[in-house]
Amino acid sequence: MMLGNFREKILSWGAKLLLGLLIISFGLWGIGDYTTNTGGDDQIVAEIGGQEISSRELESQIQVSISRMREVLGQNITNEQALAFGIVDQTLNGMVQEIIFSEGARNTGLIINDDLLNQEIRSDKQFKNRAGQFDRNVFQQSINRAGYSEGTYVDLYRRELLQKQLLSAFEYGISVPVALTDSVLRYREERRVIKLIKIKHTALNLIPDPPSSILAKFHSDNAARFSAPEYRAVTLLRVQPKDISDEIEVSEEQIKNEYDSRISEFSLEERRKIQQILVSEEPLAQKVMSRLKMGNDFIEVAKGVANFDQEALELGDLTRGELAIRELGDAAFLLNAGNYTVPIRSSLGWHILRVTNITPATKKALGEVRNVLKRIIQLDLAADSLITLSNQIEDELGAGASIRDAAARLNLKVENIPAIDNQGLNELGKPIDGISDQKEILNAVFATSEGEDSDLNDYGSSSFFILHVNKVTKPTLRPLDKINNDVRIAWKRDHRAEEAENKAKNLVNELNNGISPKILASKLKVDLLSTRPFTRTGEGLKRELPRELISKVFASKVRNSVLAAGNGVHLVAFVSEKRHPITSSSSKLAETIRAQLNENILGDLKKQLAEALRKRLGVTINRGNIRQIFSKTNTP
């Protein structure tokens, strides 16, 4: 059980982080590693109106993401790990949503014919090259990245266009009332100006020490404040690649092979900054060449003859392979800096390239990176050895050995932690090195019962641990004689805060009864502070004020006063001005608010439409078939 738990979690920390990021990136399609229970026909997993989603279609969507993830992670993901993220439901819901909107569009008579589809694809910016023209190669690269056949990709594109047609009625039909925009604008941009009086707790009269009986009562009444947290005494065995890596021998051949396999990491290709003049006709290209041969500036010729500005000229700092057309790369990388090519013809037109800068290729020699490579190999081999080591620990524990005895037999080091709280602190309140920042270990410490071993768990990067909880000390009230000074300070702090609050309440009453803030501040011998106009979010303030105070200020009338507590201070605010926004409903800010309201309304309408279409079309999810189709068997 313990070893199985460790094996299924052996993915490195870095892989897990990347896995989490890819789950967000591939949210529509999901990820997973499922195995079909073969031996049956293609089964239906969902029905939407007259449309069906088959098990093969669902698997295909999942497998697209599997392939993409394996390329990035370089390792498999088990079914249990994938299922833990709810990937099947996530993927299926995305497919159902697409069909719902597509069917809704068809039911209203909307169609996307082949001519319109072709036109939309050719005008899509994501399929255009640097010259702003549709490029078949760019289009094919998008298909390859998505992992589909061209037919499937085009069908999905058509479905997306259908959805856009359906939803465009909302997008272009929404008109946010001017009155609503104005109301939101006035609310957001309303500003207040206040006079501020600070009552610092430390500036109040000295408070004498309380009698011992009062201090004792304060101590017992506030037991939670003066109690020690739960502590646990733990025996910890943890093994990291670095703990055993130094013992691993690495041959020169292994280092050489590692160097060869990573040569791209130690090599930088030659790069060239390239400018391009692209024209559609050969006579115009020859005219450009004629001007250049006369000694005219490349940028001036581009602007005067081809109507190119400098920004449009720049192709960037590129390697040979980054130039999509091979003939252009070959020609550009034969030039010296400052020179230009003759006109080169391609499907896009006539190109004249100029190289403005050359960054030579570089490569680190094996000797420069030998020690780094040796360490990498040692750590990799050590990580591989951890599974064998975990087997040995499992065998020892299974034979009845304690963690301490198992460690001794395997020549491993255990750590004895006499007391640790759930923040990773010891009894002195100080962090325990190497433990306090390890969530996995802390969680296991407090999830394991007294007298029990934890599971064998992974943490960090390809490391694992197991621990035994020796003793649990429940939270206890610290004796008053041990913390007498702390309790006395806390009692005084509370009483100063209480006195400051009472004083602030009296000030509020006096201000609300018409006494001038200036007179009261003078009487208290404190500064009267004035703010600049500020909004409900605090925009416009030079100093930070408590959120509670700002809320109270905007809930109050002009010439009224409010109070709130801060850090070691009580604040009294007198509302001296209320300023309405001077921006009009045609201002940029109003336009921004109108756009936000439009987006929110559109989102609500889309949600309502989806729910209505679900009810009209009828959506059935066959959970039984899904459970039958996807087993928990790991992919080989």
Phi, psi of 29 (to 5 degrees): -95, -20
pLDDT band at residue 614 using 50, 70 and 90 as cut-offs: confident
Indicate whether 166 and 217 sit together in one domain: no
d(C-alpha 471, C-alpha 424), whole Å: 16
Indicate whether 385 and 459 sit together in one domain: yes
pLDDT at 1 over 80: no
d(C-alpha 334, C-alpha 43), whole Å: 59
pLDDT band at residue 145 using 50, 70 and 90 as cut-offs: low
> pLDDT, tens digit, for every residue of 351-410?
999 999 999 999 889 988 888 888 888 878 877 777 788 888 888 998 999 999 999 998
Indicate whether 48 and 105 sit together in one domain: yes
Indicate whether 66 and 153 sit together in one domain: yes
Instruction: Give residue 13's pLDDT.
Output: 35
Indicate whether 324 and 244 sit together in one domain: no
Report the share of the chain in percent with pLDDT over 70: 86
CATH classification of the domain holding 398: 3.10.50
> pLDDT, tens digit, for every residue of 479-537?
999 999 999 999 999 999 999 999 999 999 999 999 999 999 999 899 999 999 999 99
Report the share of the chain in percent with pLDDT over 90: 38
Instruction: Give residue 66's pLDDT.
Output: 60
**610 is written with which tokens?**
């989806």
pLDDT band at residue 172 using 50, 70 and 90 as cut-offs: low
**Cβ contact 304:323 at 8 Å:** no
Instruction: Give residue 194's pLDDT.
Output: 96
pLDDT at 120 over 60: yes
* 322-347: average pLDDT: 90
**Cβ contact 382:241 at 8 Å:** yes
Indicate whether 540 and 494 sit together in one domain: yes
Taking CA atoms, 583 is separated from 177, 540, 587, in Å, by 17, 16, 6
Asked whether residue 601 is assigned to any structural domain, the reply reads no
pLDDT band at residue 629 using 50, 70 and 90 as cut-offs: low
Helix (H) or strand (E) holding 277: strand 271-279
Query: Crossing angle, helix 588-617 and helix 87-107, to 10 degrees?
Result: 90
Task: Sort 319 into a burial class: Cβ within 10 Å, 0-12 / 13-18 / 19+.
Answer: middle
Which residue's structure tokens are 């499922």? 34
Asked whether residue 606 is assigned to any structural domain, the reply reads no
**Cβ contact 571:549 at 8 Å:** yes
Indicate whether 123 and 222 sit together in one domain: no
d(C-alpha 320, C-alpha 102), whole Å: 43
Indicate whether 210 and 236 sit together in one domain: no
Asked whether residue 180 is assigned to any structural domain, the reply reads no
CATH classification of the domain holding 109: 1.10.4030.10
Residues 6+ apart with CB under 8 A from 523: none
Indicate whether 28 and 156 sit together in one domain: yes
Domain end, chosen from 360, 389, 415, is at: 360
d(C-alpha 441, C-alpha 435), whole Å: 7
Taking CA atoms, 539 is separated from 211, 333, 413, 554, 596, in Å, by 47, 54, 56, 13, 20
Asked whether residue 261 is assigned to any structural domain, the reply reads no
**Cβ contact 386:268 at 8 Å:** no
pLDDT band at residue 630 using 50, 70 and 90 as cut-offs: low
> pLDDT, tens digit, for every residue of 22-33?
333 333 333 233
Asked whether residue 51 is assigned to any structural domain, the reply reads yes
Domain end, chosen from 474, 493, 518, is at: 474
DSSP result, 412-447 = --EEEEEEE-TTSB-TTS-BPTTTTT-HHHHHHHHH
d(C-alpha 339, C-alpha 272), whole Å: 12
Instruction: Give residue 16's pLDDT.
Output: 38
d(C-alpha 200, C-alpha 564), whole Å: 12
d(C-alpha 556, C-alpha 576), whole Å: 11
Which of 297, 306, 376 is CA-nearest to residue 340? 297
Strand partners, 353: 276
CATH classification of the domain holding 290: 3.10.50.40
Instruction: Give residue 210's pLDDT.
Output: 93
Indicate whether 113 and 197 sit together in one domain: no
Instruction: Give residue 49's pLDDT.
Output: 83
User: Which amino acid, 119?
Assistant: Q
Asked whether residue 589 is assigned to any structural domain, the reply reads no
* 541-549: average pLDDT: 92
Instruction: Give residue 56's pLDDT.
Output: 80
* 157-162: average pLDDT: 82
Helix (H) or strand (E) holding 476: strand 476-477
Which of 194, 269, 308, 275 is CA-nearest to residue 543? 194
> pLDDT, tens digit, for every residue of 446-493?
999 999 999 888 887 678 899 999 999 999 999 999 999 999 999 999
Indicate whether 151 and 51 sit together in one domain: yes
Instruction: Give residue 25's pLDDT.
Output: 36
Instruction: Give residue 513's pLDDT.
Output: 94
Instruction: Give residue 474's pLDDT.
Output: 94
Asked whether residue 556 is assigned to any structural domain, the reply reads yes
Phi, psi of 126 (to 5 degrees): -70, -15
Indicate whether 463 and 531 sit together in one domain: no
The whole-chain average pLDDT of the chain stands at 82
Domain end, chosen from 474, 496, 531, is at: 474
Q: How many structural domains is the chain composed of?
A: 4
* 594-615: average pLDDT: 84
Instruction: Give residue 171's pLDDT.
Output: 67
pLDDT band at residue 67 using 50, 70 and 90 as cut-offs: low
Which of 28, 26, 27, 30 is CA-nearest to residue 88? 30
Strand partners, 431: 425
Asked whether residue 592 is assigned to any structural domain, the reply reads no
What domain range is 340 assigned to?
A: 270-360
